[in-house]
Structure 1
Amino acid sequence: MANRMLLIEDEDDLRTLLEEYLKDNGLSVTSFASADKALPFWRDHADEIDLVLTDMRMPGTIDGIGLARAVRRREGHQPSIVMISGFEPPPRQMLQELGITEFISKPFRISELSRLCAAKMRG
């Protein structure tokens, strides 16, 4: 396992806070402000990513749902996908079909999210 996490969150302050907290807790994190920016990185480094933590709704042509679809279309190594959002979650069946293992509603405790991420990366 590569033990690397991809974080996609359009709220700058939250993304910075999450990235710093997760790194301070020993996780390797690469972050982006949009799925549009994250997807090319994902395509180039997919085998190195064990966890995708993404916001559900973001500006741009791809949202968190679209990113999850793109991740699942790739054959081979499949990371865990955790989605965060301040909006109502999609139906459970859709989350399962997309392989989204957890849906976390905002606001959340960063310490709890960090523990969840660490557990997902350990397998």
Structure 2
Amino acid sequence: MSTNRNIPPKPLAVVIDDEFIIRELATSVLEDMNFETMGFTTADEAIGFIRQHHDAIKVVYTDIRMPGRLDGEALAREVAQRYPTVKVIISSGHVRLQEQDPRDGTIFMAKPWAPADLKRLLEGNNDD
């Protein structure tokens, strides 16, 4: 009988985007990089999960503009401040931010992006 006791759990990534195709693309890239993923269509849906499971989360990818009370920028700011070990990637096709915000370590990735762009940002960060 084989056992998987020596196989470490996959790192967890949270993907938040109201556009199905973008959410699925980001999820696919992250799963190809050996992440377990959870997807959400709004920051309002995701924030409770993130607060509850922050110790397992390695990456949060979020769109900026989404329906709901909380936008992706506010969510990213909260995650970066409360959970500094979580890598936060903010993406938008409408809003432009600095590529990296040195105040909180978030990274901006403009839409449209290619799978290689997301992989490049995460290289070496899924071994934990």
Q: Scaled by the length of structure 1, what TM-score is found? A: 0.81
Contact 1:51/1:81 (8 A) holds in 2: yes
Q: Which has the higher helix share?
A: 1
Asked if 1:86 corresponds to 2:93, the answer is: yes
Q: Which residue of 2 aligns with 1:72?
A: 80
Q: Scaled by the length of structure 2, what TM-score is found? A: 0.78
Matches within 5 A, 1:94-109: 95-100=101-106, 102-109=107-114
Instruction: Point out 4+ residue stretches in structure 1 off by more than 4 angstroms.
Output: none
In structure 1, what is the Cα distance between the partners aligned to 2:30 and 2:10? 16
**Which structure's CA Rg is the greater one?**
2
In structure 2, what is the Cα distance between the partners aligned to 1:82 and 1:97? 14
- Give the letter aligned to residue 87 of structure 2: S
Q: 1:121 to 1:108 in 2, by over 3 A?
A: same
Q: Which residue of 2 aligns with 1:116?
A: 121
In structure 2, what is the Cα distance between the partners aligned to 1:2 and 1:21? 14
Contact 1:55/1:85 (8 A) holds in 2: yes
For this pair of structures, how many residues does the alignment match?
Answer: 120
Instruction: List alignment gaps of at least 5 residues for structure 2.
Output: 1-8
Q: Which residue of 2 aligns with 1:5?
A: 13
Q: Deviations over 1:24-66 (max 9, x none)?
A: 3422211111100000000110000011111111111011111
Instruction: List alignment gaps of at least 5 residues for structure 1.
Output: none
In structure 2, what is the Cα distance between the partners aligned to 1:7 and 1:40? 14
**CA root-mean-square deviation:** 2.5
Q: Which residue of 2 aligns with 1:54?
A: 62
Q: Which residue of 2 aligns with 1:40?
A: 48
